[in-house]
């Protein structure tokens, strides 16, 4: 079995951890509940919901406490697959283009019937074997375009990100834990141009600015909103709590736990 089969269609009991959507993807939540945040807004997704994640966008997935076992299906549509598909079916990308990272879809019996038909094709590892992969992906894509023809403007737009306002983009997306190369690409720049433009705008290197911006947000959330440090460090782009705590102490002179202890004392004081 080739790696593409594993990467393109799978069922998994855990949220997708990658915060950069590299290829268009269809996500169907079989059971459980989750939140998706794209830098603009938060989407609440429940069992039976589905939609499209757009390539070249950022998104975070978080499981919500729920009595159901969490299970979702991801089906990816890589650019080569979409180009081959469109050579055959001749859809055209015309009209307005959405800028949203997530495109929720209204429930439709064609999609529901398709999802019921595809589940038996997953093997014990949660993937669809290669001989069925493109057949089922092609079928799904035809269904999605039948249900919502405007999705052609999304799937068959093969352009790369254009140069955009770097300051606005970074102030909106600094919480995402992705590489500088990703940030550069999404703002329509080479890495060297990104670093050069960044330092002109923010008078700091990207790495230094990102850490300080995240820590300042952490301070606000703990001090003003009463959030626990263990609840927020991942959402703010830190990979582990020890790194977060060390960086917090280095900037503010004390660990984040001390700040919440001080806040609790202040709240109790008459």
| Domains of the chain: residue spans and CATH | 3-155 (2.60.120.10), 166-268 (1.10.10.60)
Q: Where are the beta strands (DSSP E) in the chain?
A: 9-12, 20-21, 24-31, 33-37, 42-46, 50-53, 57-58, 60-63, 71-77, 102-104
Phi–psi pair at 98, nearest 5 degrees: -75, 150
pLDDT of residue 17: 66
pLDDT digits (tens, 9 = 90+) for 33-77: 999 999 888 999 999 999 999 999 999 998 887 777 889 999 999
Of 7, 91, 23, give the one whose Cα is nearest residue 55: 23
Residues 193, 196, 199, 204, Cα dihedral to 10°: 90
pLDDT of residue 269: 58
Ranges under pLDDT 50 in the chain: 1-7
* Mean pLDDT for all residues in the chain: 90
pLDDT of residue 263: 75
Residue 119 per-residue DSSP state: G
Tokens of 262: 């001080």
The number of helix segments (H) and strand segments (E) in the chain equals 12, 10
DSSP class per residue in 192-257: HHHHHHHHHHHSS-HHHHHHHHHHHHHHHHHHHH---HHHHTTTTT-SSHHHHHHHHHHHHSS-HH
Residue with tokens 């799937």: 155
pLDDT of residue 40: 87
Query: 3-state DSSP call for residue 257?
Result: helix
Helix 130-147 crosses helix 109-118 at what angle (to 10 degrees)? 170
Helix 256-268 crosses helix 206-225 at what angle (to 10 degrees)? 20
Residue with tokens 């919500």: 64
CA distance between the termini of the chain: 67
pTM of the full predicted structure? 0.86
Of 54, 61, 56, give the one whose Cα is nearest residue 101: 54
* Cβ pair 219, 263 in contact under 8 A: no
d(CA 235, CA 47): 23
Strands 60-63 and 57-58 come out as unpaired
Tokens of 121: 């094709």
């Amino acid at each position: 079995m080739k790696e593409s089969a594993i990467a393109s269609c799978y069922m998994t009991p855990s949220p997708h951890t990658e915060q950069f959507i590299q290829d268009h993807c269809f996500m169907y939540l079989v059971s459980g509940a989750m939140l998706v945040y794209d830098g603009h807004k938060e989407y609440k997704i429940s069992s039976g919901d589905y939609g499209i994640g757009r390539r070249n966008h950022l998104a975070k997935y978080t499981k919500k406490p729920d009595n159901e076992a969490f299970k979702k299906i991801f089906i990816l549509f890589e650019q080569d697959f979409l180009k081959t598909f469109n050579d055959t079916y001749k859809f055209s990308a015309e009209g307005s283009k959405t800028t949203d990272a997530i495109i929720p879809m209204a429930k439709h019996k064609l999609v529901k019937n398709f999802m019921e038909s595809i589940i038996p094709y997953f093997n014990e590892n949660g993937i669809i074997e290669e001989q069925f992969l493109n057949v089922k992906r092609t079928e799904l894509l035809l269904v999605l375009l039948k249900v919502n023809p405007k999705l052609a403007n999304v799937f068959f737009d093969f352009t790369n990100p254009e140069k955009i306002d770097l300051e606005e983009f970074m102030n909106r997306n600094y919480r995402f834990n992705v590489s500088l190369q990703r940030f550069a690409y999404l703002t329509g720049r080479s890495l060297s141009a990104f670093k050069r433009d960044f330092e002109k705008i923010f008078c700091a290197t990207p790495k230094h600015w990102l850490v300080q911006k995240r820590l300042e947000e952490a301070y606000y959330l703990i001090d003003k909103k009463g959030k626990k440090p263990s609840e927020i460090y991942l959402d703010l782009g830190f990979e582990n709590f020890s790194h977060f705590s060390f960086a917090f102490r280095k900037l503010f002179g004390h660990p984040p736990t001390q700040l919440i202890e001080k806040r609790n004392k202040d709240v109790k004081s008459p």
